[in-house]
Amino acid sequence: MRRPFIAANWKMNKTVGETNDFLAQFLPEVRDVSGVDIIIAPPFTALAAASAGIKGSNIILAAQNVFHEGKGAFTGEISPSMLIDLGCRYVIIGHSERRQYFHETDEVVNKKIRISRQTGLGVILCIGETLQEREAGKTFEVLSRQLESGLTGIGHDDMVIAYEPMGDWYRKDGNP
């Protein structure tokens, strides 16, 4: 059975300075926490600062995204080995915002999982339905498709699955 975890996706929040300030306050608060993995996923621009800031702590670093190729002429993208080099142990793949705003398909999600696992990067696979799919009674159909397509040809050992519906419909106040 997988050890419990708490993961915080910072999304497009916190500059390098804000990351350093946050970690200075946060690390003492969680120093003695045990029995659970604490994972933070800062934006790409703050990964190096976060990596340096959590050295020697009980915090695990994750990235918010990865490209499905190991290297090449892919301007603006980042490979699993680059993330590992920064100190990341996990990457979030298939997040509802990536699926919704960047039109990432189950096939792309599968490619990202494959390259990440081949490189030794742990994966947090996100699944979730839209409000329209939920209202149409298709929640389990959508989740099953995302899991089956996303994990085709991939072992399930140490795989983290995170459920988050797409969009803000499940948040009463509209805030993340």
- Residue 169: the pLDDT is 57
| Rounded (5°) CA angle 104-109-115 | 135
Mean pLDDT rounded to a whole number for the chain:
92
Q: Is 75 part of a structural domain of the chain?
A: no
Q: Is 79 part of a structural domain of the chain?
A: no
Q: Which residues contact 102 (CB under 8 A, 6 or more apart)?
A: none
Taking residues 49-63, report their average pLDDT.
97
Domain that holds residue 154: 90-176
| Rounded (5°) CA angle 143-114-14 | 75
Last residue of a domain, one of 64, 81, 116: 64
- Dump pLDDT digits (tens) for 4-24: 989 999 999 999 999 999 999
Angle between helices 139-150 and 106-119 (to 10 degrees): 40
Task: Work out the end-to-end distance of the chain between its first and last CA atoms, rounded to an integer number of angstroms.
Answer: 29
Q: Which of 18, 69, 133, 164 is catalytic?
A: 164
Whole-number percent of the chain with pLDDT over 90: 78
Taking residues 39-60, report their average pLDDT.
98
Q: Is 119 part of a structural domain of the chain?
A: yes
Q: Do residues 176 and 108 share a domain?
A: yes
Q: Is 153 part of a structural domain of the chain?
A: yes
- Residue 159: the pLDDT is 80
Q: Is 72 part of a structural domain of the chain?
A: no
- Dump pLDDT digits (tens) for 120-145: 999 999 999 988 999 999 999 999 99
CB 144 within 8 A of CB 106: no
Higher pLDDT, 176 or 49: 49
Residue 95 appears among annotated catalytic residues: yes
Residue 29 appears among annotated catalytic residues: no
Q: Which of 95, 97, 104, 129 is catalytic?
A: 95
Question: Which residue matches tokens 């993961």?
Answer: 7
Taking residues 108-115, report their average pLDDT.
96
Query: 3-class DSSP state for residue 72?
Result: coil
Tokens of 171: 């948040």
Per-residue pLDDT for 171 more than 70? Answer: no
Q: What is the CATH number of the domain that holds 133?
A: 3.20.20.70
Higher pLDDT, 170 or 17: 17
